[in-house]
């Protein structure tokens, strides 16, 4: 089990942690009904913090930011010699947490995506883990929420008696959501990106070989070029340049950011 704490990657504080330690932290918090904000960040997620000081502030207030992408793991290893042998991939982390939650009888809740995706997700996860208690699910509003709507969603989650909440709103909306609910929900809330679509079977995952070589982005770009081309064609080279500048000591990346205004994404 590896949990070496947080490290500055381009101004974003990322945990050098493995699956076992990440799952354990979630389960411990869930058992004691304590707040724990978790996000799985790949290159795009890190770059949202680099380019937006307000969002960098949010990310750096989260309790646990795991290295979702291989390039994020490689950067941590190169910059800090933390010897991480694997990334902590959001979709895989989701299943590992569900497996432990089923064993520990800890109810889970899924928030985000579309109703049809959630229906398939709940069906597939329940089949994989028959003992898992699914306390509830609710699709995204796909817009900013009023304060009343935000409180209504939070009340629904609380009333479900969920001990763990998975959030699939897409980056960076899901990180905004968990940041804004960290003091409202006294349970672990975990931003897991495309995990909902992957486990629902509505979006194919990259082959394992491409994932291991950090080329999942190429697979996803080929599947959704219009939506994702700016994310990968523009941000990936910039990420590499910035990591190299940090490695060579050419630039110091500030972790402070700016205190954000409330957005209430949903």
The pLDDT tens digits for 60-82 are 999 999 999 999 999 999 999 99
Q: 156-206, pLDDT tens digit by residue?
A: 999 999 999 999 998 899 999 999 999 999 999 999 988 999 999 888 777
DSSP code at position 233: I
Q: Residue 119 domain-assigned? A: yes
149 close to 141: Cβ distance less than 8 angstroms: yes
pLDDT of 141: 87
Please choose, from the candidates 176, 191, 218, the residue with its C-alpha nearest in 3D space to the C-alpha of residue 49. 176
Whole-model pTM over 0.85: yes
For residues 106 and 240, give the distance between their C-alpha atoms in angstroms, rounded to a whole number. Answer: 40
Domain range for 40: 3-200
pLDDT confidence tier of residue 258, bands split at 50, 70 and 90: confident
Is 164 within a domain?
A: yes
Q: Checking phi first, is residue 133 left (phi over 0); if not, alpha (psi -120 to 50) or beta? A: beta
Domain count, the chain: 1
The pair of structure tokens assigned to 54 is 């307000």
Taking CA atoms, 12 is separated from 4, 31, 236, in Å, by: 16, 29, 16
Task: Enumerate residues 6+ apart whose C-beta is below 8 A from 152.
Answer: none
User: Is 209 a member of any domain?
Assistant: no
Torsion of CA 209, 212, 215, 217, to 10 degrees: 110
Q: The domain spanning residue 85 has which CATH number?
A: 3.40.50.10700
Give tens-digit pLDDT for 137-146: 999 888 888 8
User: Does residue 72 lie within any of the structural domains?
Assistant: yes
DSSP state of 143: S
Q: Is the pLDDT of residue 261 over 80?
A: no
Report the C-alpha gap between 31 and 104 in whole angstroms: 9
Asked, for residue 265, whether it belongs to a domain, the answer is no
Alpha-carbon distance of 199 to 194, in angstroms, equals 9
Task: Give the model's pLDDT for residue 157.
Answer: 95
Is 240 inside any structural domain?
no
Mean pLDDT (the chain) is 92
Q: pLDDT by residue (tens digit) across 118-128? A: 999 999 999 99
Residue pLDDT, tens place only, 87-101 = 999 999 999 999 999
Report residue 263's pLDDT band, with 50, 70 and 90 as the boundaries. low
Is position 207 within any domain?
no
Helix and strand counts by DSSP (H, E) for the chain: 13, 8
In a domain, 234, yes or no: no
């Amino acid at each position: 089990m590896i949990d070496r704490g947080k490290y500055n990657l381009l101004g974003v504080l990322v945990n050098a942690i493995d699956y076992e330690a990440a799952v354990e932290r979630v389960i411990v918090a869930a058992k004691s009904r304590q707040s724990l904000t978790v996000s799985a960040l790949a290159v795009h997620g890190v770059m949202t913090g680099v380019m937006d000081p307000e969002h960098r502030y949010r990310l750096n207030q989260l309790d646990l930011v795991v290295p979702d992408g291989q390039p994020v793991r490689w950067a941590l290893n190169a910059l800090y010699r933390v010897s991480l042998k694997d990334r902590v991939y959001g979709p895989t982390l989701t299943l590992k947490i569900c497996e432990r939650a089923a064993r520990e009888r800890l109810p889970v809740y899924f928030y985000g995506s579309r109703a049809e995706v959630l229906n398939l997700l709940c069906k597939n996860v329940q089949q994989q883990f028959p003992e898992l208690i699914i306390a509830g699910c609710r699709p995204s509003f796909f817009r900013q929420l009023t304060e009343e709507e935000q409180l209504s969603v939070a009340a629904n989650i609380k009333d479900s008696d969920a001990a763990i909440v998975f959030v699939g709103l897409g980056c960076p909306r899901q990180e905004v959501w968990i940041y804004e609910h960290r003091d409202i929900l006294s349970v672990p809330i975990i931003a897991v990106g495309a995990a909902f679509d992957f486990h629902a079977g509505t979006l194919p995952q990259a082959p394992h070989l491409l994932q291991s070589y950090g080329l999942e982005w190429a697979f996803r770009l080929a599947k959704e070029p219009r939506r994702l081309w700016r994310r990968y064609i523009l941000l990936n080279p910039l990420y590499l340049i910035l990591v190299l500048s940090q490695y060579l000591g050419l630039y110091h990346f500030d972790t402070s950011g700016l205190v954000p205004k409330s957005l209430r994404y949903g």
